[in-house]
Amino acid sequence: MTAMLSLGPVLFNWDAEDKRDFYFRIADEASFDTVYVGEVVCSKRAPFFDPFLPEVVERLRRGGKQVVHSTLALIMSEREMDAVRDLAGVPGLLIEANDIGSAALLAGRDHIIGPFVNVYNEGTLSYLAGKGAGRVSLPWELSSQAIAALAKPATTELEVQAFGRVPLAISARCYHARAHGLHKDGCQYVCAEDADGMSVETLDGESFLAVNGTQTLSHTVCNLIGELEALQEMGIRAFRLWPHGVDMVAVCEIFRDVLDGKKTVDDGLLQLAAVAGFAPFSNGFYHGREGVSLVS
């Protein structure tokens, strides 16, 4: 079975028109098989892009992409839950549930479980597959041994996060607003100032994390291009790349060429460093070590 590349939902607060143009280029030029759209981090951002969404979805489908609508990773109000209900009420729409409440709402219909849902064992995976999950995007902190253990009995397609800053946690509080002396309700959307997240340093001045509104991400960029072959041997056929403010078409094609054997891993790493070297690469979680590590 041919390996598939997917583009995760944009986690950051990009300008709505820039985001539209980003998806247009992905539709026309990138060889992604699946593209996830929708707001995952903060529901306050969604109204800015919603007017462009129908046109973006149509363009992506014309470009041969499977389109998946992603839901919030943390639902904190009835209004946000109603938005998921409205989405679920659209016939034929493929939806990614990023919290267990959304997953329950989608039970009985074909859907996808996103990486924000904790799927750590075979029992959970089997339960979700039995409720209609046709694909489960595994949490980013799983080691190769854990991925292999899940892949062996899996009756549903598994997806692994292969590129991008790792979305470590999400909170009801907005760190971005707090850093600018603002309250969450009057945040002035300051998260839009940081296209790949706001860097957080330790007291010693060492880069440590990145903040994206209410979300905490790794400072390093997870890069599993060197582990693609081993993952495929486990039975993994779907790989997710998170969007960043770099040339994601180029990133996609580098991964595609390595998957297809047209490019060596070493060449792929060198080219990725040139295209997306805004932060160091890491693969520690996969190797059962601290996530910030890079195991060659």
**Statement: the pTM of the whole predicted model exceeds 0.75:** yes
Q: Where does residue 162 fall: left (phi above 0), alpha (psi -120 to 50 degrees), or beta otherwise? A: alpha
pLDDT for 1 equals 59
The single-letter code of the amino acid at 106 is: L
Q: How far apart are CA 195 and CA 228, in angstroms?
A: 27
Structure-token match 């991964």, residue found: 255
> How large is the average pLDDT for residues 84-112?
94
> Which pLDDT tens digit goes with each residue over 125-180?
999 999 999 999 999 999 999 999 999 999 999 999 999 999 999 999 999 999 89
* pLDDT computed for residue 296 by the predictor: 84
- Report residue 100's pLDDT band, with 50, 70 and 90 as the boundaries: very high
What does the pLDDT read at residue 170? 94
Residue 13 has pLDDT above 70, yes or no: yes
**From the centroid of its chain, how far is CA 5?**
12
Structure token digits, residue 100: 């267990």
Contact between 22 and 245 under an 8 Å Cβ cutoff? The reply is no
pLDDT in tens, 209-265: 999 999 999 999 999 999 999 999 999 999 999 999 999 999 999 999 999 999 999
| CATH, domain 4-166+221-282, list 3.20.20.70, 2.60.40.3140, 3.40.50.300, 1.10.3290.10 | 3.20.20.70
The tens digit of pLDDT for each residue in 145-158 reads: 999 999 999 999 99
